[in-house]
Every structure is written in structure tokens, then in C-alpha cells.
Amino acid sequence: MRIIAKRTLREFWEKHADARLPLSLWYTEAHAAEWKSFQDLRNWYPSASWVGNNRVVFNIKGNKYRLVARINFDYQICWIRFIGTHAAYDTISAKNV
């Protein structure tokens, strides 16, 4: 899976040091993955949620942080659309971010 853009993750963990390890692990796993469908993804991340409009929400660090990604399974591309605290997530529309 091609991840766009790791820079977003890096900028976030520079502000939230405790997120560095879980986000690095997520990036490594997602980059190596070849998910063909949301069900394939759920086999790796059972707590991931499909919110529509090709958006998936991942719980990071025991749900302290949320990552919203737009995923195109056919082209194997994952765009990071949002990473933030659970409180910040509550203020956005995950389906439209």
C-alpha cells in the first residue's frame, strides 16, 4: 500500500511524542499491506471503522488518537486525511475530511 503522506504522521508525532511508536508501527504495517478490500484491512485492524466515502478510521494508541485515511484498494493507495486526538476527531466529519 502506498501511503500519502508520511510527513503528516511525522509532524503529528513531533507534537505528541507518545504517538511516535504506534504511528510508526501503523505506517510500517500499512505500507507492507496489500489489502484488497475493507475486510482484508479488518483482518489486520479489527477495530477499524468504515465511515463511507472510502474513509477508514483507525484507533491509535488505545484510541487516544484517531487516524482517518482515504483508501483506494484497487490502486493500493492510502491518503492520510486526519490524525488527531479523540477530542479533535469529534469535531470533524470523518466521511468528508
Residues 8, 92, 82: CA angle, nearest 5 degrees: 15
* Partners of residue 34 on adjacent β-strands: none
pLDDT digits (tens, 9 = 90+) for 12-30: 999 999 999 999 999 999 9
Domain boundaries, the chain: 2-87
pLDDT in tens, 48-97: 999 999 999 999 999 999 999 999 999 999 999 999 999 999 999 999 99
Within 8 A by CB and 6+ apart from 89, the residues are 57, 66, 68, 82
